[in-house]
Amino acid sequence: MKTETTIQGLNAALASARLARKTIGFVPTMGNLHEGHLSLVREAKKLCDVVVVSIFVNPIQFGPNEDYDNYPRTLEADSHLLADVGCDLLFAPTVQQMYGDHVRKTSVVVSGITDLLCGQSRPGHFDGVATVVTKLFNIVQPNTAFFGQKDWQQLEVIRAMTRDLNLPLDIVGVPIARAEDGLALSSRNGYLTEQQRQQAPVIYQSLLAAKQSLQSGEDLSVVLQNIRDTLQQAGFEIDYVEAYTPHLQSVQQFNQDIMLFVAAKLGQPRLIDNLLVKYIPN
């Protein structure tokens, strides 16, 4: 596997693949890779000839009180993991390489669906994501890009942006990779103390219980409140527990397929998860 840190180097490394019209699959990440990221790379390997992974901790998607400075940076270990799963090219640019010294005058802003869920507690976050992903798409010029369903709202934002701007690539969503006890894998899980790590699977357990209640006819608002109560009793500080359609339209009752969304803090780390609940009319 090659590693490139500059756009020029990346272009040189991809020149022959582009010339031979090989399909390029792209997996953007912030590094500190785990099985969730690797499942995206494996999916990309299945569908594309050449797989490019980027590792870039993007400063403009972090709020002033968020963990940009402390975000885990583990490039050495990451590059071994990527080589093992057959990634062809790792692009690991510096902030200088991505943003230069000039004042950036352009942002990519997706409206509406960025105002809810994580958009409420992380103002500007999705502008930062949409902007860096657009830049990375233009740099890598992939045929297909792969994103995790763990960040469902992010996936919807990228899909909307790609459609609205006619970006010439396909977006593929990859299911959430979980630990054996159900906790959605995340780079932020590393911040959990041992005790918090034991409590953390309560999020997924409460989502599964909610799904069962909904499918047995329980009222949506009661089910959402039950999740909140369960999480609060387990020591979580809730950011949101909400339901929307898969395309993030609001829902009042369970009369179509819905998604349940949770964001909650356990001590410092903020964890997110989601679950699709299929509506099965009787």
Q: Is 150 in the site for ligand AMP (CB under 6 A)?
A: yes
Tell me: is residue 151 an annotated ligand-binding position: yes
Report the largest interatomic distance among the alpha carbons of the chain, rounded to a whole angstrom. Answer: 61
Per CB under 6 A, the list member of 10, 13, 24, 30 interacting with ligand AMP is 30
Contact between 23 and 144 (Cβ < 8 Å): yes
CB 241 within 8 A of CB 221: no
Question: Mind giving me the DSSP string for 32-95?
Answer: S--HHHHHHHHHHHHH-SEEEEEE---GGGS-TTSSTTTS---HHHHHHHHHHTT--EEE---H
Among 161, 176, 259, 275, binds ligand AMP (CB under 6 A): 176
> Is residue 177 close enough to count as binding ligand AMP by CB under 6 A?
yes
The residues with which 50 forms a beta bridge, in sequence order, are 24
CB 226 within 8 A of CB 214: no
- 134 in contact with ligand AMP (CB under 6 A): no
Listed ranges 8-16, 76-84, 96-104, 176-184: which one lies at the site for ligand AMP (CB under 6 A): 176-184
Please tell me whether residue 269 binds ligand AMP under the rule CB under 6 A: no
Query: Three-state SS for 222?
Result: helix
Please, which residues have CB within 8 angstroms of residue 194's CB and are 6 or more apart in sequence?
none
* Residues between 31 and 70 that touch ligand AMP (CB under 6 A): 36-37, 39-40
Residue 213 annotated as binding? no
Residue 151 sits in the site that holds ligand AMP (CB under 6 A) = yes
Which helix (H) or strand (E) is 275 found in, with range? Answer: strand 270-277
Closest residue to ligand AMP in the complex (CB): 148
Instruction: Select 14 or 176, whichever has its Cβ closest to ligand AMP.
Output: 176
Buried-exposed string 42-51: b where 16+ CB fall within 10 A, e elsewhere? bbbbeebebb
Q: Is 161 one of the binding residues for ligand AMP (CB under 6 A)?
A: no
Residue 270 as a binder of ligand AMP (CB under 6 A): the answer is: no
Check residue 78 for interaction with ligand AMP (CB under 6 A).
Answer: no
Find the catalytic residue in 37, 80, 102, 247: 37
Q: Is 194 annotated as a binding residue?
A: no
Interaction mask 87-126, ligand AMP, x per CB under 6 A: ----------------------------------------
Amino acid (1-letter code) at residue 23:
T
For residue 102, indicate whether it is catalytic. no
- Which helix (H) or strand (E) segment holds residue 263: the answer is strand 258-265
Q: Which residues are annotated as a binding site for ATP?
A: 30-37, 148-151, 177, 185-188
Known binding residues are 30-37, 61, 148-151, 154, 177, 185-188
Binding site for ligand AMP (CB under 6 A): 29-30, 36-37, 39-40, 147-148, 150-151, 174, 176-177, 184-187
Give catalytic residue positions. 37
